[in-house]
Amino acid sequence: MNGFLQGVVDALALGSLYAIFALGIALIFSVLKMINFAHSELVTIGAFVLILLADVPLIIRILILVVVVVGAAVLMERVAFRPVRGAGQTTMLITSFAVSYLLQNAAILIFGPDLRSGSVWSVLNESFMLGPVRILNLNALTIVLTLVLLVALTLFLRKTSIGLQMRAAAEDFTTARLVGVKANRIIAVAFGISGLLAAIASFLLTAQTGVVTNTIGVQVVLMAFVATILGGMGSLSGAVIGAFVLGAVSVILQQLLPLELRPFRDAFLFAAVFVVLVVRPGGLIVTRASRARV
Amino acid sequence: MLAVTDLVVRYGQTTALHGVSFAVNRGEVVALVGPNGAGKTTALKAIVGLVTPASGSIEFDGATIVKHKPENLLRRGISLVPEGRHIFASLTVVENLALGAATRADRRAAKKDVAAFLDRFPALGRRRRSQAGKLSGGEQQQLAIARALIAQPELLMLDEPSLGLAPLVVDQIFGVVSELRDAGTTVLLVEQNATRAVELADRSYVLRTGEIVLEGDSQTVLNHEDFLASYLGVAAGAPGAPVASGVPAASGEVTA
C-alpha cells in the first residue's frame, strides 16, 4: 500500500512537470497551429540563468529568470516567427527547428560543450513525511505550482477579455481578426505566457538535476510533445491530461517492468502512446479547430 | 461611403475579379448578387483586407483602405458577417457577443449592449449560456449578425446570410436585414438568393465571372432581361456590355 501511495505521488510530480512543459507548447499550437520546437531552448536558457547566477540571491535569480525567459520567448516570436507567419505551417515548423538548433549551438559557442553544475535551492532536495509517504520538497512544490498555474491559466482564459480573445483566436483566427482581435498582440501574449511556463519549468527541472547543458531542455520537451499529441493537439486540457497519463504510465512501468527491461522504459511508454493513437488518432481530446484542419 | 474602383483580384494564375467597381452610400442597402463563383465573396474579402488586390482602389470615407489589416478595418467601422456564419462554436452566446464588443472604447456601454442584444434577439437571450455551436443554423446566423452589429459598424457587410437555412428561417434573417434598413444602417448584402436581396435593397449590382454585368435600382435590375440570364448562365451579349440605365455608377461619389 505504501509503495502504491509513493507511486501515486511520484506519478503526480512527474505528470505535473510534463504538464508545465506541455502547456507551453499547446498554448502556442492553439493560436498559431505551430509546434514550437524551440520551446526546449527557452527551458535551456532558463537553466543557464539559474546555474550561471548561482551566487545571486534566490529571489533576484528567479526574477532575472522570468524576465530573461519571457523576454526570449517574445523576442523569438518577433524576430523569427512573425516574418514567416503568412508563409504556411510547414515554413513555421521548419523555422522553429532552425531557431532551436541555432540556440543549441549558440550555447556551445558561448558556454562550451561541457556540463555545468550548481545548486538551485538546496531546501528542495530535502523531504518530509506525509503519513507513511516520503515526499521530496521539490515534488511537493512541482505539484502545488502546477495546480496554481492551471487555476491561474483557466481564470485568465475564462475571465479576462484578452483570454476570451485568445480562445476565439484558437478556434478560428481569421474570424477572430474580423471581430477585431489584434493578431500580433494575441500571439505575443501567448508567447509571453509560454515563456513564463518555460521559466517555471526550467526552475523545477534544474532544481532536480542541478546541471545544465546545451540540450537540457530537449529531453523533457520531447516528453511534453508526446503528451500534447497524446492529449490532442490544440487542446490545453488535453495537454494536461496527456502529461499526467504519460507521467503515470511512466511510473507504473518503472515499478512493474523487470529490472533488466527498465532501461528501455521509454520504449514501452512510446509503444503505449502508439497504441492509443492508433485507436484515437486525434488524441484523447479532439478539439473543433483540429478537426476542421484535418 | 464605400467606393470600390477597378478592383482586380488574382489567386495565383486565376483572376477572380476583372476590374470591378461599385459603391455604397451612407444609409443605403446595396445588394451584390450573382451566381456561385462570380467573385462576390472575393470582393468582400478584398474590402476587409483578407486578400490583397492586384490593382484597383478601395476607399472608405474618402481614405484608401487597401492593405489594411482586418482587425483595424473593424475599428474604422467596417464589419463583415462572413459566409458560413463562423460563430465561435466553443464559446457561449454571451462570450461571442462580448468579443464583438471588445473593440468598443466604452466598456460599460458595451456590456449594456450585450444585454440589449440578448433582448433584441430573444432566441439568443434564451440560450445565452449555451455553447454557440449547439444553436440551430438560424440562431447562429442571428448571433453572427448580432456579433457584428455590437461593434457599432458604420457599414455592415453580410455574406450569404441565407445560405443553408430553411425557408422559414431565411424569412427571419431577411426580416432582420429589413429592420436594419429601416433603422438607417448602411448594409452591403451579398446573396445568391438574388431576387429577395434585390427586392430588399435600394440599389443592386449583378456580378458574373468576376465582372459587374448589371447595376441600378431594384426595379430596373429586377425587370432587366439580363438579370435572369445571369442566373441561368445564358450569355446575353459580351460580358459587361449591358448596363442598366437606372442609376449612374456611383463609384466616384463619396459621402463624408
Indicate whether B97 belongs to any domain. Answer: no
Asked if B152 contacts B78 with a C-beta cutoff of 8 angstroms, the reply is no
**DSSP characters for B239-252?**
TT----SSS---TT
- In the prediction, which pLDDT does B243 show? 44
- In the prediction, which pLDDT does A6 show? 85
Query: Rounded to an integer, what is the distance from CA A274 to the centroid of its chain?
Result: 21
Q: Which residues of A touch B151 (CB under 8 A)?
A: 179-180
Average pLDDT for B103-109: 82
Average pLDDT for B35-44: 88
**Does residue B58 sit in helix, strand or coil?**
strand
Indicate whether B104 belongs to any domain. Answer: no
Q: How far apart are CA B100 and CA B75, in angstroms?
A: 11
pLDDT band at B256 (very low <50, low <70, confident <90, very high): very low
Q: Flag whether residue B92 sits within 8 Å of chain A, measured between CB atoms.
A: no
Query: Rounded to an integer, what is the distance from CA B32 to the centroid of its chain?
Result: 8
Q: Which residues of A touch B47 (CB under 8 A)?
A: none
Indicate whether B142 belongs to any domain. Answer: no
Domains held by chain B: number: 1
Task: Verify whether the Cβ–Cβ distance B102 to A164 is below 8 Å.
Answer: yes
Of the residues B47, B71, B140, the best mutation for testing chain A's interface (the one with the most A CB atoms within 10 Å of its CB) is B71
Indicate whether B255 belongs to any domain. Answer: no
Q: How far apart are CA B245 and CA B256, in angstroms?
A: 26
| CB nearest to A177's CB, from B71, B91, B102 | B71
Buried/exposed code over B161-199 (b: 16+ C-beta within 10 A; e: otherwise): bbbebeeebbebbbebbeebbeeebbbbbbbbbbebbbe
Cβ neighbourhood burial of B239 (10 Å; 0-12, 13-18, 19+): middle
The tens-digit pLDDT sequence of chain A (294 residues) is: 677 888 888 899 999 999 999 999 999 998 888 889 999 999 999 999 999 888 889 999 999 999 999 999 999 999 999 999 888 888 999 999 999 999 999 988 998 888 888 877 878 888 888 888 888 899 999 999 999 999 999 999 999 999 999 999 999 999 999 998 999 999 999 999 999 999 999 999 998 888 888 888 888 888 888 888 888 887 888 899 999 999 999 888 888 888 888 888 888 888 888 888 888 888 887 765 555 443
Q: Flag whether residue B231 sits within 8 Å of chain A, measured between CB atoms.
A: no
Indicate whether B120 belongs to any domain. Answer: no
Indicate whether B254 belongs to any domain. Answer: no
Task: Verify whether the Cβ–Cβ distance A179 to B69 is below 8 Å.
Answer: no
Q: Flag whether residue B67 sits within 8 Å of chain A, measured between CB atoms.
A: no
Which among B238, B249, B213 has a CA at the least distance from the CA of B228? B213
How is residue B30 written as a grid cell?
446595396
Q: Flag whether residue B111 sits within 8 Å of chain A, measured between CB atoms.
A: no
Q: Flag whether residue A176 sits within 8 Å of chain B, measured between CB atoms.
A: yes
Task: Verify whether the Cβ–Cβ distance A164 to B75 is below 8 Å.
Answer: no
Range of the domain at B189: 2-86+153-232
Q: Can you tell me the ipTM of this complex?
A: 0.81
Task: Verify whether the Cβ–Cβ distance B71 to A164 is below 8 Å.
Answer: no
Bridge partners (DSSP) listed for residue B203: B30, B217
Q: How far apart are CA A242 and CA A260, in angstroms?
A: 27
- In the prediction, which pLDDT does B253 show? 39
In tens, the pLDDT along B196-242 reads 899 899 999 999 888 888 888 888 888 887 777 666 554 444 444 44
Indicate whether B131 belongs to any domain. Answer: no
What CATH number did the domain enclosing B187 receive?
3.40.50.300
